Amino acid sequence: MRLSISKAAIPSENATDASPLGSGTKQPQTTLRMDQLRILIVAEHSSAAFGGEAALPLHYFRILRARGFHVWLITHARTRDELVRLFPDERRILYVEDTALHRLMWHAGRRLPAQIAYFTVAFVSRFSAQLRQRQLIRALMAEQPIDLIHQPIPVSPREPSMIYGFGVPVVIGPMNGGMDYPPSFRAQRGYIERALLRFARWSSSVLNRLIPGKRLAALLLVANKRTRDALPRGLCPRVVELVENGVDLSLWGRAVSPDGTADIEAPTTFAFVGRLIDWKGVDLLLDAFKRAAARAPMRLLIIGDGPERDRLQTLATSLEILAHRREQPGRVFFTGWLAQNVCALELYRADCLVLPSLYECGGAVVLEAMAMGKPVIATAWGGPADYLDATCGVLVPPTDREGLIEGFADAMVRLTISPESRMEMGRNGRNKVTRLYDWNIKVDRIIELYHQACGQDPNGRPVAS
C-alpha cells in the first residue's frame, strides 16, 4: 500500500528552520535552537474526553503547539471529532483509521475483565495501531524532516514499543506501572486473571527483545521508582523520573477563594470522579458513606459511568442511600458520564474528592481536585499516595476491607465536622499543584529532556550519530 501526505498538509518553513535530515535517516544536529526542534508525538489515543492516559499526548501537543514548536501528532481516528473541535484546520495531526480488527478487539474486550482485556485483545489492537503508525511516520518523514519522536503512551513499563528505526531519537514515557492490588485485596483477581498477569510479566522480557523500541530508545521516562523497577531487563539504560500526570489550570484552576468560608448549615458534598469499574472500589465507598452519613450531614455524588454502574446502584438501593434527586442529604446520586467542563464544575461545587481505588497507578483526578482547592480522601496506595500528604488530604491505609471502609467513613466525618480543615487542606493542595504539577511546568521539563535526547546524554557527552 502506497501512502502519500499532501504537500499542503506540511506547513512551509523558512530557510533558517530547514533541517538536513531530509528523509529522516540521520541524527539531528545538536546546534538546533529549542524552538527549531521538529517533534512528532505518537499515541494510540489523544483525548481529554477518553480520560486517563489518553489525555497525556493531547496536553503535550497542545502546549508545544501554543509555544510555537513545529509539532506533529499521530493518533487514532476515534479522537478526530474532538481534535478537530480543539484545533480547527490543523494539518499536523495524522490519523490511524479504524479497522475491522480494531472493532473486533473492542467488542471482544467489553466481555472480559478489564485487566484480562488489556493484556489480550487490547494489546492486539495497540500492536495493530503501532504498525499503522510506522507507515504514517515513514510517509511523514519522507516529506518533512523530524528531529525527535515522543511516544507518551501506553504508560505500561513492560509493554514493548514498535516506534524505532527512524534515524532520530525516540523518547518513551513517562511510564507508570508495576502495580498490584494491596496485599489484603489480591484475592479480587480471579485465578485465570492472576495466571495471565504472571504470564504477561514473564513474556514482557521476551517481547522487548523481539520488538526493540525500548532497547533502542534515546531516553525512557518513568513516573516513580516502582515503575523503574518494573522495566524489563536489557532496555535503554538512560532512565529519568518524571510524573506522568499534570493539571490544565485553564480548566481545573477554578479554586475556592483563600478567604472563602464554608456553609456549615449545608450538608458536605463528597464527589467520586472516575470510570465505574471494579478496582475503583466504589462499592467500598458506598458502605463507608452509609456509616458516615449516620454520624454527620453529608451527601455523595458519583460522577462517571462504566460496567459497574447497575451493580452499584443496586447496592445503593439495598443500603437505602440511593438518591432520586441530587440535593437529598444522606443519599448518593449517580450523575452518569459528564463532559469534562461539566465535570470540572461539579467538582468545583463539591467540598471534597473521595477516591477509594485499589489499583490506581496515576490518579490525575486527585491533582485536578487539588487544583480546585479541594481536599482529597484516597487509598494510601499507588498514584494518590505519590501526590497526597497530610497537609492536603487524608490517605487511608488499605489494611483490609473493613479497615478501609471504616477509615473512609472516619475521614468523611472528620472533614464534615471541620470545614476549617477542609479549607486549609484545599489551599495547601492548590499551592502544591501550581508549584509542581501545572502542565506548563511539566512541558518545560519535557523540553529539557528532548534537548538531552537530541544533543547530550545525562553525563554531558554527545549522543553518538
| Confidence tier at 3 by pLDDT (50, 70, 90) | very low
Res 285 pLDDT > 70: yes
Which are the contacts of 316, defined by CB distance < 8 A and separation ≥ 6? 286, 322, 332, 334
Same structural domain, 85 and 152? yes
Domain for residue 268, yes or no?
A: yes
Domain for residue 135, yes or no?
A: yes
Q: How many domains does the chain have?
A: 2
CB 245 within 8 A of CB 260: no
Min mean pLDDT across 8-22, 141-155, 173-187, 327-341 is at: 8-22
User: In residues, how long is the chain?
Assistant: 465
Domain for residue 368, yes or no?
A: yes
The residue that leads in pLDDT, 417 or 198, is 417
Same structural domain, 443 and 411? no
Res 26 pLDDT > 50: no
Domain for residue 6, yes or no?
A: no
Read off the pLDDT of residues 349-404 as tens digits, 9 standing for 90 and up: 999 999 999 988 888 999 999 999 999 999 999 889 999 999 999 999 999 999 99
Domain for residue 344, yes or no?
A: yes
Task: Return the percentage of the chain with pLDDT > 90, whole number.
Answer: 62
Secondary structure (DSSP) of 382-434: SHHHHH--TTTEEEEP-SSHHHHHHHHHHHHHHHHH-HHHHHHHHHHHHHHHH
Q: What is the domain extent for residue 324?
A: 249-436
Same structural domain, 284 and 429? yes
Same structural domain, 347 and 442? no
Q: How many angstroms separate the CA atoms of 354 and 366, rounded?
A: 9
Same structural domain, 167 and 285? no
Number of other CB atoms surrounding residue 111 within 10 Å: 9
Q: How many angstroms separate the CA atoms of 69 and 32, rounded?
A: 12
Min mean pLDDT across 91-100, 171-180, 190-199, 432-441 is at: 190-199
Q: How far is CA 341 from CA 80, 334, 408, in A?
A: 19, 17, 28
Domain for residue 465, yes or no?
A: no
Domain for residue 389, yes or no?
A: yes
Q: Are strands 70-76 and 170-175 parallel, antiparallel or unpaired?
A: unpaired
The residue that leads in pLDDT, 109 or 409, is 409
Sign of CA dihedral 274, 280, 286, 288: negative
Same structural domain, 155 and 204? yes
- Position 406 scores a pLDDT of 97
- Position 264 scores a pLDDT of 53
CATH of the domain at 310: 3.40.50.2000
Res 266 pLDDT > 80: no
Domain for residue 12, yes or no?
A: no
Q: What is the mean pLDDT of residues 138-154?
A: 94
- Position 207 scores a pLDDT of 87
Same structural domain, 343 and 421? yes
Same structural domain, 78 and 38? yes
| Confidence tier at 461 by pLDDT (50, 70, 90) | very low
| Confidence tier at 201 by pLDDT (50, 70, 90) | confident
- Position 91 scores a pLDDT of 92
The model's pTM: 0.82
- Position 298 scores a pLDDT of 96
Same structural domain, 220 and 368? no
Number of other CB atoms surrounding residue 241 within 10 Å: 13
Min mean pLDDT across 106-110, 157-161, 421-425, 452-456 is at: 106-110
Same structural domain, 177 and 267? no
Same structural domain, 72 and 188? yes
Establish whether the linkage from the previous residue to 174 is cis, with ω within 30° of 0: yes
Read off the pLDDT of residues 34-45 as tens digits, 9 standing for 90 and up: 557 899 999 999
Same structural domain, 447 and 431? no
